Amino acid sequence: MMDTIVNLVTTILRRVLKDVKPDIAWFWEDMAYSKGPLLSPKLFEKFMIPRYKKITKILNEHGVNIVVVDCDGNIEQLVPGWLEAGVNCMFPLEARYVDPYRLREKFGRKVLLVGGIDKKALIAGEKAIDKELERLTPLLEEGGYIPTVDHRVPPEVSYQTYLYYLKKKREWLEKHHP
């Protein structure tokens, strides 16, 4: 089944990439939960990495060098395999389960990061939002990181609080990346 999907994806990519020049490619692989991967890193290495490589090889040949994986939960044990397979950007970095600083410490700038802003800070209000942005400032300044809410903004966040978050985030980004 996996080979059938890879064959389909690679066939389509070869056709599409003749005429289209994307900046990034995106995988969706929800294969982790709060405690870690849903399959062992050993099985991930055996079954997933070789197939990812077939896809990322084609992407790289066509100048697509940012390959994102959307995976929830605690992904830390899977990151080495994704990097080996040519998947170099992790999203959404659920704040409850993934420490973006730990990923950066372990993998350096080989890993690009998207997400990491704890949605619970938005629920908690303005002071918590300010604290959350401050927490992530060193990572932002280092680069290779796009701060976004980890997943979606929950319905418990009022419209006014969301507008505050957007305003503070714009100011924060302008201050650290003018």
What DSSP string describes the chain? Answer: -HHHHHHHHHHHHHHHTTT---SEEEEE---EETTEESS-HHHIIIIIHHHHHHHHHHHHHTT--EEEEE--S--TTTHHHHHHTT--EEE---TTT--HHHHHHHHGGGSEEEEEE-HHHHHH-HHHHHHHHHHHHHHHHHSSEEEEESS---TTS-HHHHHHHHHHHHHHHHHH--
Does residue 157 form part of some domain?
Answer: yes
Evaluate whether residue 103 is within a structural domain.
no
- 85 and 11 in a single domain? The answer is yes
Look at residue 107 in the predicted model and tell me its pLDDT. Answer: 96
Q: 120 and 77: one domain? A: no
Say whether both 164 and 131 belong to one domain: yes
- Same domain? For 8 and 81 the reply is yes
Q: State how many domains the chain has.
A: 2
Does the residue 163 lie in any domain? yes
Summarised one tens digit per residue, pLDDT across range 59-90 is: 999 999 999 999 999 999 999 999 999 999 99
Its domain, for residue 142, covers: 114-178
